Structure 1
Amino acid sequence: MKSISLLMLVVSVYSAHASFSPLLGVHPLDEKYYEGEVIECRDGLRSFARDRLNDDFCDCLDGTDEPGTAACPLGKFYCKNLGSMPKFIPSTHVKDHVCDCCDGSDEYGGGIRCPNTCIMGGNVEYKLESHDMHTQTSLKGRKEKEVGSKSEDFLLKVKGLKTAIMLQVVLIFLLLVLCLCRRHPKGKRRHARASAGHIVGS
């Protein structure tokens, strides 16, 4: 029992240290990129001092200097999600009081306490009650999109059905015209034969 509680303490200390690391939100393969004292923005337009990394001020338009904050709208935050699938989320989702990473790393700093659901398979949505309206709004938006796409599909099917019916009507009309044209010459031939026989008989 002591070993389990000691392990939990070590994990919580490690996660607390990791959450306040200046490299928060950085993919492990990109950590070397941030080792120098002066770091260049990935787009090559500017550079910034290492102490400006994750300082909540956007120095690089592409978000290179703010991988762990929401300061840059084009930035990406890396969720390590140990025990589940790692992923990138838009940096605008960082510290928005919604747990987007299953390890809760996007809500560091104590504003909201996110349970680590990665061990349970991850991707379990956990949101504060105060954000129920936000959740309902996003669900409503999703439903509206689904209804919109279903109605578009229905309209396309109706248009396709109309086209098929029109083609069938045109084909039936052409067949009728063709049948009438074939009958008409036979009638003319019979009439010609009858009048020829009438002439011969007279």
Structure 2
Amino acid sequence: METIFFICSLFLVSSFSLALSLSNAPLLIGVHPLDEKYFAREVIMCKDNSKSFPRDRLNDNFCDCADGTDEPGTSACPTGKFYCRNIGTTPQFIFSSRVNDRICDCCDGSDENDGSLNCPNTCIMGGNVEYKTDHRFSRVQDLGSVDTKLTKNGVTLDDFIQKVKGFLKVIIIIQLVIASVFVVWRICHCRARTKRRRHR
């Protein structure tokens, strides 16, 4: 019984540590999730096949590839594109010239990653809304807005819907974590009871 309990505990601890390490793993800034494997190699080829570069020259603020492949998270390459993840709302690409220009273009603030400006994450709050930053407005436009009428509280209907969607996503994630912990605990508990009956 102690062995089964130990194995179940070990499984739970390893599952939580894996989930924690995945959530704390640094994301490659400015890269679309489908391209993450492409940038995981030690030697990376420019997407126009002109040359290759070592991984340590990725986002080093020097343009090695004419197409901007090596600088997805900086403004070094004039032809580059930066990917805003905008978790909680609509992801988008912006021109790399908008990276670290002291204007928050992504609602998650990831385009201002040099530490000179702290952009608030407004994605869960409705995302892609204009807000003041350093006495200037963000260039981000409300994407796909169907109805922008103000409610009684002065909030647009789209903003309210985005807030509710973000809140529901968080609730669903919490419920999945609780359900998976309960299932693992129940399996371990049943196995321990079965083993006790056999020893009687």
Q: Describe how 1:10-159 pairs up with structure 2 within 5 A.
A: 14=24, 18=26, 21=27, 23-131=28-136
Count of residues in Structure 1 that have an aligned counterpart in Structure 2:
118
SS of the residue aligned with 1:59?
coil
Runs of 4+ that moved beyond 6 A: none
Higher Rg: 1
How far has the Cα of 1:128 moved from its partner?
2.8
More helix by share: 1
Q: Is the 8 A contact 1:100 1:125 kept in 2?
A: no
Which residue pairs with 2:169 in the alignment?
none
Cross-structure match for 1:176: none
Measured in 2, the distance between the counterparts of 1:63 and 1:129 equals 29
Q: What is the CA–CA distance in structure 1 between the aligned matches of 2:56 and 2:85, rounded to whole Å?
A: 23
Q: Normalising to structure 1: TM-score of the pair?
A: 0.54
Which whole-Å CA distance do the structure 1 matches of 2:83 and 2:36 have between them? 12
TM-score (norm 2): 0.54
Residue type at the aligned position of 2:70: D
Unmatched tracts of structure 1, length 5 or more: 1-9, 136-202
Alpha-carbon distance in 1 for matches of 2:72, 2:134: 28
The 8 Å contact of residues 114 and 126 in structure 1, kept in 2 or not, is answered as: no
- Structure 1 vs Structure 2 CA RMSD: 2.2
Percent identity between matched residues is 64
Structure 2 unpaired stretches of 5+:
1-19, 140-200
Mapping of residues 156-175 of structure 1, within 5 Å:
none
